[in-house]
């Protein structure tokens, strides 16, 4: 199974790193792409990931109000919510896509998000 994770550098990537350095066990299906901010994620990139064979795509960034660039994740939230609603029109089950917010200190939460998402997508196989 191939899962792609687009993570903002400042919060979620650091949170994932924290999960790793804390040696929290995680499934190995997620391939992480480090982005400067969720606001820089073009929804077409997510569709491209599905087109190239991804079984699921996860986007994670700073919590609302904590974006390193002030409001990048507010723009992202609007775009991602719209994309989530449009996915079934492209023949992609909406369960295969998730966006979430994980801070740099939430390593355990990151591991839980990855566990839950992996399990959810696996159940669709």
91 — alpha (psi -120 to 50), left (phi > 0) or beta? left
At closest approach, how far in Å is the CB of 70 from ligand FES?
Answer: 8
At closest approach, how far in Å is the CB of 16 from ligand FES?
Answer: 13
Which stretches of the chain are assigned E, i.e. beta strand? 3-8, 30-35, 56-61, 97-101
**43-62 residues near ligand FES, rule: CB under 6 A:** 61-62
Under the criterion CB under 6 A, does residue 10 sit at the interface with ligand FES? yes
At closest approach, how far in Å is the CB of 37 from ligand FES?
Answer: 3
At closest approach, how far in Å is the CB of 60 from ligand FES?
Answer: 9
Beta bridge partners of 35: 8
Q: Are strands 97-101 and 3-8 parallel, antiparallel or unpaired?
A: unpaired
- By C-beta, is 27 or 36 nearer to ligand FES? 36
Phi, psi angle pair for 84, to nearest 5°: -55, -40
- By C-beta, is 73 or 98 nearer to ligand FES? 73
Under the criterion CB under 6 A, does residue 103 sit at the interface with ligand FES? no
8 Å CB contact between 96 and 121: yes
Binding residues for ligand FES, per CB under 6 A? 8, 10-11, 37-39, 61-62, 67-69, 72-73
């Amino acid at each position: 199974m191939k899962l792609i994770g687009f993570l903002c550098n400042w919060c979620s990537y650091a949170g994932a790193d924290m999960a790793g350095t804390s040696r929290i066990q995680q499934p190995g299906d997620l391939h992480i792409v480090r982005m400067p901010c969720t606001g820089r994620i073009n929804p077409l990139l997510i569709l491209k990931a599905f087109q190239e064979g991804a079984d699921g795509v996860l986007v994670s960034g700073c919590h609302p109000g904590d974006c390193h660039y002030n409001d990048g994740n507010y723009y992202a939230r609007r775009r991602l919510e719209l994309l989530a609603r449009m996915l079934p029109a492209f023949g992609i089950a909406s369960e295969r896509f998730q966006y979430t917010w994980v801070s740099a200190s939430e390593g355990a939460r990151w591991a839980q998000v990855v566990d839950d998402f992996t399990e959810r997508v696996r159940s669709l196989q």
